[in-house]
Amino acid sequence: MTTNISFLQLVLQAGTLVQIILGLLVFASILSWAVILQKRSLLDRTQKAAIQFENRFWSGGTLSDLYESLRRGREADEGLAQIFRAGYEEFIRQSGHANPDDALAAVQRQMRVAHARELERLEGGLSLLATVGSTSPYVGLFGTVWGIMTAFIAIGNVKQATLASVAPGIAEALIATAMGLFAAIPAVIAYNFFTARVERLENRFGTFAEELTGILDRGLRTSGTRAS
C-alpha cells in the first residue's frame, strides 16, 4: 500500500515546536526578501544618481550654479550630491574670514560626516540579511533535531516500527532544515552582493570628496575668490 503525503500535510502533522520554528523561518525569509528588494532599488537609484551628478559636476559649470540647483531641489540630494552640498556650504561659511588650513579642515569634517551618513543609509538592512543568513540553518537544524527526537520517542512506544511508520516523522523533521536553507541562501547571496556594491559606492564617494577638497582648497587659498 502506497501512501502519498504532501508537503502541507507534513507541516500540519509536525509538532508544535517544529511548526513554530517553521513559522519563524518563513517570516525571516519574507523579511529578508523585503530588504533585498528595497536595498536593490536604493543602490540602483544611488548609483544612477552618482553617475548623473558626476557628469553634471564635471560638465564645466560653476560650483555655485550646481549648489543652487541642489538647494532649489532640481537635483537629487543624496549620495554624492549630499557630500558636495555639505562641503560647499561649509566652504561658503569659511571663505574669506578664516585660516585656509583651519577652513579646509572644517570643510573636510563636514564632508566626512555627510559621507558617514550616506554610508549608514546604504548599509541599512544588511545586518538583517547577515543575521538571517547565519542563523537560519541552525534554527532549522534545531527544529530537525527536535522533530527526529520526537519521532524516535514515538517509535519506541510501538512494538514494531516499519519504514512506512518512521518516514513521515523523519520527513516532517527534515522540513525544518530545508526551510532554514531556503531562508538562508538568498540572504547570504544578497548580503555579499550588496556589500560589494556598497563598498564600490563608498570608494566612489571617497574619491569624489578628495577631488572636491582639492578644488575648494584652491578657492580658500585664493583671497576673495569663490570656487568655480
pLDDT reported for residue 223: 46
Is 80:122 a contact under the CB 8 Å cutoff? no
Distance CA 22, CA 176 (A): 6
Is 153:24 a contact under the CB 8 Å cutoff? no
Q: Is the pLDDT of residue 228 over 80?
A: no
Q: Is 129 helix (H, G, I), strand (E, B) or coil?
A: helix
Mean per-residue pLDDT for 194-207?
94
pLDDT reported for residue 169: 66
Output b/e per residue, 25-38; b: 16+ Cβ within 10 A: beebbebbeebbee
Cell representation of residue 160: 514494531
Record the pTM.
0.81
pLDDT reported for residue 74: 58
Q: Is the pLDDT of residue 20 over 90?
A: no
pLDDT reported for residue 13: 67
**Dihedral angle sign, alpha carbons of residues 43, 48, 51, 53:** negative
Band of pLDDT at residue 226, cut at 50, 70 and 90: very low
